[in-house]
Chains A and B, each alone.
Chain A
Amino acid sequence: MAQNAAASADTFPKLLIRNARLYGARPAMRHKDLGIWQSWTWSETLDIVRAFAVGLHGLGVKRGETIAIVGGNRPKLYWSVMAAQMLGAIPVPVYADAVADELAFVLAHADVRFAAVEDQEQVDKILSVRERVPQLEFMLYDEKRGLRDYDHSRLRSMDDVIAEGRKALADRTVADWLDKEISSGKGSDPSIILYTSGTTGKSKGVVLTNERSIRAASDTVAFDKLTEHDVALAYLPLAWVGDHYLNYVQGLVSGFCTACPENPDTAMGDLREIGPSFYFAPPRTLELLLTRVMIRMEDAGFIRRKLFHYFITVARRYGERILNGQPVPLTGRMLYAIGNILVYGPLKNVLGFSRVRVAYTAGEAVGPDLFSFYRSIGLNLKQLYGQTEAFLYVTAQPDGQIYSDTVGPACPNVDIRIAENGEVQFKSPGMFSGYFKDDARTAEVMTPDGYVKTGDTGFFDDKTGHLKIIDRTNDVGKLNDGTLFPPKYIENKLKFYPNIREAVAFGDKRDFVCVMLNIDLTAVGSWAERNNVVYGSYQELAGHALVYDMIEKHVAEVNRSLAADRVTAGTQIRRFLVLHKELDADDGELTRTQKVRRSFIAERYAPLIKALYDGSKEADISTEVTFEDGRKGVISARVKIRDMQREPMAATMGKAA
């Protein structure tokens, strides 16, 4: 039903009008403000967005122009996107935590004349790079606090703009003009430009069109049976394709309600209050949640702890099979039902998962244990594989066909092929139309016959027919003896341990594998507290001998599991070190979506890598760091290196699960 109606509306403003007609009294958006959840129905949203669009037009926003959107998940920023689209202008969301330099690059590259921003922080940031974006004329802000004394000749509050628009709309001719503007929008018009987080170098502006976006979302909305009765919490960055697709576009296509958290720090609590039915979390968030639960359980009383661990074991045995509808012995079902009352239900409630019908994770390979943990307690967590260039979905797992090591079969209407070098290539309904002002790089990722190169190596699994992604094509390497070296595979095994936050493996064109690790301050800090380990800083804790001992045990376990498989036995970790600082996106070591930038790290920590391979027991390193306010400083440290025992091969182990 929904997708038929959607097909008739080929632009987002037309979809908004359709939603106001079909689901007028249903909530379109919620936002917690001053401690109370405020709601806006679809028809209220349409009214506001119409007024906003007229107000923007009054400021000079014209068809085909770009307008930057900078800030967190707030209704007024989503409405800015809608209002811009209503006028045929192209919204360009920018990561709210982008440092001034990145922000200036995007604003200048996208030629924005207008920027809709959240608050004073963003206004200040843009003002600080003003000379690099001379074409910027106007800024609109949502939160007026602290901005009273600013020069308002180029600054306006969104509330005022909406109010002006509303006044103007009282005039019949203006309303008619707006209707005509909306109906003259075409499906082939660009609807948004999403700048990629830039795993590889400078970010690129991915141009998506109305009609393709809507077509892609109609497919997935039908695939997951999303309706106007569903609810999602928009807590991931506005500028990320995932938020734009999953919440904004799917919301408009299916008519579901998008809830915005009170502020970024309250998202966990808001999740519990809203109880979404559609949920997305990157593996890192799921990891973080699990770590938190585990830490709290360690601190719980004896009986509770025993109860928890007993029923988690039960869940690991039967939970996934029950969820998949496979046969389970009666005692298993009964134990699981008791566990559900005592442990899983309350746990899901605390995490805000009680009403989740469909949950997805993507972005990085998810640890099998992590994945099955959530599924075993009854959360219908699935994997998808996607890209900004595809407008998210390339593959997704259908209900009942869930495997932790695959990303599922191709989505409806998506065509996938594996190139000769193992690279995954696709053609999809939501496919981008090109990189903004960058034909050269567009040509680089497109094949002559119209497929998009993903840059990921993968293959179709014989048993399930699902796609399996191994690693970035450029990252998969070989040891000097020819053994295949997939760094991410090793890193993910390490990262499953709550104490290890980040891992970077080296081994390409080397004799053996070494890793650099980041400890997780929450988990290791709590361990330190329980074991009377005193420390003054992250650096001190990371270099502590007892911490090294603990990490060494984890690495040994990983080696054992690598040894269990013939293919990976050669990639056992020979030496490791714990880094003296956390890898940080502000220092360029991670992308804004928290992915490791391997080559950059290799360069930056070259002295450490040299020490890993020349056999020294420790090495000195000093690195420049960027603080949150943009100032720079230098951290120096002496980092210790540990050697590992080689584990025997699988053949002698006997048991390999």
Chain B
Amino acid sequence: MRAPGGSTVAVGDVLLSVEDVSLSFGGVKAVSNVSFDIRKGEIRAIIGPNGAGKTSMLNIINGFYQPQQGRITFKGKTRAKMRPHDAAYGGIARTFQNVALFRGMTALDNIMAGRTLKMHANFFWQMLRHGPAMREEVEHRHRVEEIIDFLKIQEIRRVPVGRLPYGLQKRVELGRALAMEPELLLLDEPMAGMNLEEKEDMSRFVLDANDYYGTTIALIEHDMGVVMDLSDRVVVLDHGIKIADGVPDEVKRDQTVIDAYLGVAH
């Protein structure tokens, strides 16, 4: 189940790159002159202390914020800024720092919602839930069931999301993002507020999604252990500026990173 959409990027090549991107809100510089790239098939972490501009960076990538300067190249196409629909149709999905699901709908329906962009039957048939709409629904439901199986959430299929514990809501959210069959998956603190066991489960799902679906993943995370274990490469932001970029071991030893993020040793 590889992402469709005519991807021409081979594994290992640059899938998305941002160059000299800056974003400010009034006088506050959220991101300034940041450049980095995400290669197809990797797990890329963006870390940094609070207010470093990590979430802003994700928002720039999926078109939620529009940077004042810089270029974004996605699948070989260079733009001054992404637009949300470019991102969505181009195969970028994301999860949010605070769970953003339809709380009154079941886990199944929430994940089904992730398939919306892939549905083509027109409104008329969808209203009748017949003919092409029905065929399509069966097809999509099959995909969704695969994801439910993948995330091992069969027992909550019919449970309204609002009634689920936080860790499971996070998992449903990941499911909805995966349902889009994204080429690039952006995860904003997927493990925030989880206990150790939930973190381990979630890490396993992130790795499996990367391995099984071949999804490229960019994630923001605060838990250093998780970041260092999961990611292939790490970019570190501090006050909107990139201060390091490299494989986890390199980044861990980088003195600027230690000073800025992990605390200066006395």
Using a CB–CB cutoff of 8 Å, the interface residues on chain A facing chain B are: 32-36, 145-146, 148-149, 262-263, 265-266, 269, 628-629
Contacts and interface: CB of A to CB of B under 8 A. Distances in A.
A146 B145 contact: no
A266 B154 contact: yes
Chain A facing B: main interface SS:
loop
Given A33-B149, A34-B146, A263-B152, 7 more contacts: A32-B154, A34-B145, A35-B141, A146-B212, A148-B211, A148-B212, A629-B200
A146 B211 contact: yes
Interface string B140-177: 01100110111010110110000000000000000000
Interface in B44-94: none
Contacts of B200: 629
11 contacts: A34-B145, A35-B141, A35-B154, A35-B157, A36-B145, A145-B150, A148-B211, A263-B154, A266-B154, A266-B155, A628-B197
Nearest to B152: A263
Contacts of A35: 141, 145, 148, 154, 157
Contacts of A629: 200
A265 B145 CA distance: 16
Contacts of A628: 197
Interface in B114-150: 141-142, 145-146, 148-150
A107 to B, nearest CB: 25
Contacts of B141: 35
A266 B155 CA distance: 5
Contacts of B146: 34
Contacts of A145: 150, 208, 212
A34 B149 contact: yes
B162 to A, nearest CB: 16
A582 to B, nearest CB: 15
A628 B142 CA distance: 32
A41 B132 CA distance: 32
B208 A146 contact: yes
Nearest to B158: A269
A33 B208 CA distance: 20
Interface string B167-209: 0000000000000000000000000000001001000000010
Contacts of B154: 32, 35, 262-263, 265-266
A36 B197 CA distance: 29
Interface string B206-242: 0010011000000000000000000000000000000
A628 B211 CA distance: 25
A645 to B, nearest CB: 41
A32 B148 CA distance: 13
A34 B211 contact: no
A32 B145 CA distance: 11
A265 B148 CA distance: 13
A34 B154 CA distance: 9
A265 B142 contact: no
B156 to A, nearest CB: 9
A34 B153 CA distance: 11
A526 to B, nearest CB: 14
A36 B149 CA distance: 12
Given A146-B211, A628-B197, A629-B200, A269 B145 contact: no
B99 to A, nearest CB: 21
Contacts of B145: 34-36
Contact of A34 (B142, B152, B155, B212): B142
A628 B201 CA distance: 12
A51 B62 CA distance: 51
Contacts of B212: 145-146, 148
A149 B207 CA distance: 13
A145 B149 CA distance: 11
Nearest to B156: A265
A145 B1 CA distance: 14
B233 to A, nearest CB: 20
B188 to A, nearest CB: 25
B211 A265 contact: no
A263 B154 CA distance: 8
B43 to A, nearest CB: 15
Contacts of A146: 208, 211-212
A265 B208 contact: no
Nearest to B150: A145
Nearest to A148: B211
Contacts of B142: 34
Nearest to A262: B154
B155 A269 contact: yes
Nearest to A629: B200
A265 B157 contact: no
Nearest to A261: B154
Contacts of A266: 154-155
A376 B130 CA distance: 46
A628 B196 CA distance: 11
A33 B141 CA distance: 13
Contacts of B211: 146, 148-149
A583 B125 CA distance: 56
A33 B154 CA distance: 10
A626 B213 CA distance: 34
A263 B155 contact: yes
The 8 A-B pairs with the shortest beta carbon distances in the complex, nearest first, are A34-B145, A265-B155, A35-B145, A266-B155, A262-B154, A266-B154, A263-B154, A34-B149
B111 to A, nearest CB: 12
Contacts of B150: 145
A263 B149 CA distance: 10
B153 to A, nearest CB: 9
Contacts of A263: 152, 154-155
A269 B156 CA distance: 10
B50 to A, nearest CB: 25
Nearest to A143: B149
A34 B151 CA distance: 12
Contacts of A36: 145
A363 to B, nearest CB: 24
B169 to A, nearest CB: 17
Nearest to B108: A35
B58 to A, nearest CB: 27
Contacts of A265: 154-155
A628 B155 CA distance: 20
Nearest to A32: B154
A361 B152 CA distance: 30
A477 to B, nearest CB: 40
B60 to A, nearest CB: 33
A262 B154 CA distance: 7
B148 to A, nearest CB: 7
A344 to B, nearest CB: 24
Contacts of B148: 34-35
B5 to A, nearest CB: 24
**Which residue among A32, A35, A146, A149 has the maximum number of chain B CB atoms within 10 Å of its CB?**
A35
Contacts of B149: 33-34
A269 B106 CA distance: 15
A262 B157 CA distance: 12
A555 B154 CA distance: 40
A76 B27 CA distance: 64
A339 B149 CA distance: 40
Nearest to A144: B212
Nearest to B143: A34
A614 B139 CA distance: 69
Nearest to B149: A34
A35 B200 CA distance: 26
Contacts of B155: 262-263, 265-266, 269
A262 B200 CA distance: 23
A296 to B, nearest CB: 13
**Which residue among B146, B149, B208, B212 has the maximum number of chain A CB atoms within 10 Å of its CB?**
B149
Contacts of A32: 154
A377 B152 CA distance: 34
B179 to A, nearest CB: 14
Contacts of B152: 263
Interface in B14-39: none
Contacts of A269: 155, 158
A266 B153 CA distance: 9
